[in-house]
Structure 1
Amino acid sequence: MMQGLGRAPVAGAVVAALWAVPSVCGPGSGPQLPTTIAISPSSLSFDALSVTAGLGATVHDQHGEVMADAAVSWRSSAPSVATVDASGMVQSVGNGAAYIAATVAEVHDSVAVTVEQQAAEVIVTAPSDPLLFASLGDTARLAAEVLDANGHPLPDAAVVWSAGDAGVATVDAEGLVSAVGNGATDVTGMSGPALGSVGVEVAQLPTVVEVRAEAEMLVTGDSLLLTAEARDAGGAPIDSATFEWSSSDEGIATVDSDGWVRGVDEGDVRITATLMGVSGSVGLTLVLADRVGLLALYASAGGDEWEVDDGWGTDAPLGDWHGVEVDADGRVESLALAQNGLVGTIAPEIRRLDRIRELRLEVNELGGEIPPEIGQLGELAWLGLFGNDLSGEIPPEIGDLSSLQVLDLTLNSLSGEVPPEIGTLTELEYLSLFFNELTGEIPPEIGDLGKLRFLDLCYNKLTGPIPGEIGDLEELEQLWLCGIDTNPEAGNRLSGTIPPEIGDLAELRVMSLGANRLTGPIPPELGGLPLLDTLAIYSNLLTRIPPELGDATSLEYLAAYGNRLEGEIPPELGGLRSLRTLLLGRGFTSGDNSLSGEIPPELGDLEELRRLDLGANELSGEIPPELGDLELLEFLELGSNSLTGAIPEELGSLARLTRLALCPNELSGPIPPELGDLGELYYLFLCSNGLSGPLPEALGGLTELRFMNFVNNSLTDPMPDSMLNLSNLRELLWKSNDGLCAPRTEEFEEWLDGIESSSDIYCEAESMPGARLAGEGEDADTGVGCTATAIGARSAVGRWSRSATWSLLSDRQRKRLGPADGTPSVRSSVNCSLHNVIYR
């Protein structure tokens, strides 16, 4: 606190010098006179007030001797800085500089004294210790006092402020502290080496809690995350706050500790978040998931234009809405809106109907894709989307419908492959993807459908082999894999052989593989199918009929026309006593069979037979008279062969026959009059043979006849007058015979004028200008294409009239069938018969 400094100039230096001259008289002579005075230490420096330090003065006489008893007086030049007492004790009083002088007689000396307080302590004062903040942004002013070592304040001492954690609090140069974030820290004031501090604690206290929800409505069964925010008095949010959540009615909605709300039942509820006794809440309206799903469908499918929409969109119970059935809990278990004018798309919110068992939207105009969300309907047993215009791929999520029993996607525009995930539908009994645009191969996983009874993949664009795994479908009753006979390239083109494993399907009743590219012989294993009643394998490249097929004694329909069949017709087929239709004749675009040998007389044992087509083969020999035993036969086609001999008179016993076609062949002899007994006959084609003689009078009994063709034979003589009885004839052709003519009478002329197409060869003239040879025309029994009949008959939705079903087809779908107007000619009746028999 005190330091020595350089000596100040001495007043009266001359006097001192004089005192210093040696006496001529020598030491000890005369009185001692002070000549010099020296103060020690030579200077003083104080860094605090009220500090004392002693000065000493040494006086020498004229002889240089110390004058121990010299009376020294002391004086301060600035008592406000430092004082000095009679003993030379100096005390610091205030900052500054002063001189302390010592005087003896006229001799004096002085030293400099400096007082400069240094900070030894900083005392920080705050409104509280520690300084507490409850809101961010709040401020408090600190004060600091700087003291020297003796506790005296330093006026105007500069204090530098700092905060230990600026994330908790900051302090400015004036000592203003601001709360920044929750936590604790120290704020320090520093002056020189001295410092002082005060603790700061920031702990926000909530004054308001706000709860927010993204929606005011919550669907039962769904979850919604609420967010809560607490703010302090300054409006600053309280981060990382842990709230307590509660529901006003847990029967309507529950909430967990994280704010997740789950809807339970319809109604209104308030969800509250609480923090340190301060609460906030939000109101939610819970709506039944089913209602949301139904309203979404109503919006996406043009509900305002539905034919019937009673109750839809109202507050009425869902069970009162048209087409909706609910269970005991009020949940939707069935939605049936078939033929109700739905236009648009299926809303993905359909997933809300998670209790639904039947979804029936058949025969509407729904487009777009099948939403993958439909795979979330875990209890769905029946999905019927038949007769719409759905496009895109079948979503693999359909494989998640573990309860599904019926999947009917018939008559849409679906593309892509058959998803292998369908193989996971172990409860499935009915699968129809008929008449879509599916491509690729049949997935072998389809063999995992152990309960499947009905499988229809016809009229798609599938390729590749038939998987042998189909033989694992032990419950399968109907198998439809056919292409489009009238337009093969637009349909399935399955290849390879028919898997012999199909012979393991003991429950199989119907198998339609027609209009594909299947090769090889018909598997003999098919003869071991005890319940098989329909076998449609027409228009393929199959090569042989196995005799074992005669063991399939339940068979009612056998269509193998348009293949590459060779060899003889197995006589074992005569054992098929239930057979109603046997078609081995000409194909549409696939070519003809080449069956040879004679017609087995055993075919006359087929007592249930209605249709027999052996046309366009290489059959020879005579027509077996045993065919006359087929009392129920309605259709007999033996044309385009090499049959010889006479027409058996026994054919006149076929009282139900409506069509008899024997041209061309090499038949000879007269037309048997017994044919006149065929009272139901509609078509009689005997052209291009070697028949001779006149027309029998008995032909006048064919009063139902519409078409009669005798062209290119050797028939003679005028027509009998009995022909005038044929008032329903639309076509009568008899060119190129040996004199067969119509009598030129007023009656015959009038009669022939009433026939739309006639050769008009009269007996008076050798010949007349050639008449137009009309085609065989439209089958009068088939007002629209038989293909359309198949579509309606095979749909899970039930049977539809032919005309109604045809109206469901789009122009694009009709074009895929081949003919421009979609109505096949009479020759396509071989194709129609498949469906007429099965759905008789």
Structure 2
Amino acid sequence: MYHPKTSRSLGMQYDAVGGWTPRLALVLACAWLTACADESMPPPTPATLSITNTPTELMAVGDTVRLEVEVRDQSGQAMEGRTVVWVSDDPSIATVSESGVVKAVGVGTATIMAETGSASASVQLSVAAAEYWMLVAFYYATGGDEWTNNDGWLESQSLGNWHGVDVDTAGRVSRLRLPENNLTGRIPPLVGEFARLEWLNLSDNDLGGPIPPALGKLSELEFLWLGQNELDGPIPPELGQLDALGGLSLSHNALSGPLPAELGGLGSLDSLLIGDNPLSGPLPAALTGLSLTTFGYANTDLCVPGGEEFQAWLESIANHHGTGTGCDAPVSDRDILVRLYEVTDGPNWTNSENWLTEAPLADWHGIVTDESGRVTHLTLRNNGLRGRIPAELGNLARLEVLVLGENDLTGSIPPELGDLEQLELLWLFDNDLTGTIPAALGGLGSLKTLVLSGNILTGAIPPELGDLKNLSSELILSDNDLEGPIPTTLVGLGVYRFHWYGNRKLCAPGVGEFWAWLESVQDTWGPLCNQSDVDVLKGLFEAVGGPEWTNADGWLSGPVLDGW
């Protein structure tokens, strides 16, 4: 049956000779091309992955960083929103979260890997201890590039290879020792963060500014040496928190103000050196709780409180070098002499003529003065003095002769006597003086005669006595309780008389150099350390025909046995 409408519709697409119309051909061609395109172009997939913000510096333990990535498909087009899987090859060094946040948790190197589909990328991160960065900051704060020795610094993470740095078994800084190394600038407070630090020695440099109170956080610190710098300001009371501290040296700086009472809480402290600073005020009474063997505060404006307890504490310190100034300090030679009179039972002296009167000091018994009225001679031998020698005598700056022998003086010899730069003669013999011979006496550069015999002095002879290069007359140390071999530093003293007898444990070394020096001294008296060996060998020689021996070279020639 003929349908005109249908025939017309089809006729528009198919002509009379059976051909397709142009419109239908076009539609079919497009459909074919689309099908071909879909078959030759696969869907986009990740082809490359890159980490765009790789850290360029070492990380410190505790640091975090978010890594960013870029994903591109096979045609180079960016792919947003792709899920990336993050992995650390060593989570003990660095961890990484699902979102790419890396946290440094240990010292070392770790590789962080990112993956999405078949694409991946990785970055290697180095983590240094926090103390690495602290040392780096310290280096630049103190002019490290100009240090005398900066070997190893900044060259690696092995802190123990850096000059002056010691580390413990865990790699933590335990000692920082950089004396005489041309450090400049200021001590950075971050030094107080070295939690395992036991020694800090920055002495003999050019460091200025204040001492950081943060040093008081170093709970394991045993020694703190900051002497011989240009530090100023007060001594921080926070240093009193250093419970493990055994030695504190702050001398030869420009520190000012009072000595903090908090230092009296340093129960482990053995040595306290604060001299040569413009410190002022009284020594805190809290110090009497310390068991010091060395205490130096000379050349300061610190004064010594009155009272027997504090005086007794000072006298218990083996090496004590102070100002010799009481807080009610004498300010003139007359005041010093009045102090001597008061503490040595002056009213009962054998002769106290004119003492405490308004007469010139030269008219006081035993006193000689120079043209300006300054005391040059103090001679009170066998005069009934009783009590302790006052440290204030060390302030008689013009004193040349000090004779207090043959009295009933007790207590220790004040180290302050070592400040008497013009003293030529010191006689303290035949008293009841106790304690050790102060090493400070070695500073008496003008001294020619030293007589300390007939007391109850103990301990060893301080080697510093060998510094008495002008000692040309007598060195008499006999009849005490001194002990040990005589120090070889005495070799070279030009004395003509040296006596050390009457000390149960004191002896002269039987060695060549020392014996040669003794032989050069005109008058010597005292035992040799090897005398018993000499006596045994001498007895052997005499008992077994020594004079007839084939070889008896050197025998009985003297106490230097290695020459026999």
Question: With structure 2 as the length reference, what TM-score do the two structures score?
Answer: 0.49
Q: Which has the higher helix share?
A: 2
Larger RCO: 1 or 2 (CA < 8 Å, sep 6+)? 2
Decide which structure has the larger Cα Rg and report it.
1
Q: Which has the higher strand share?
A: 1
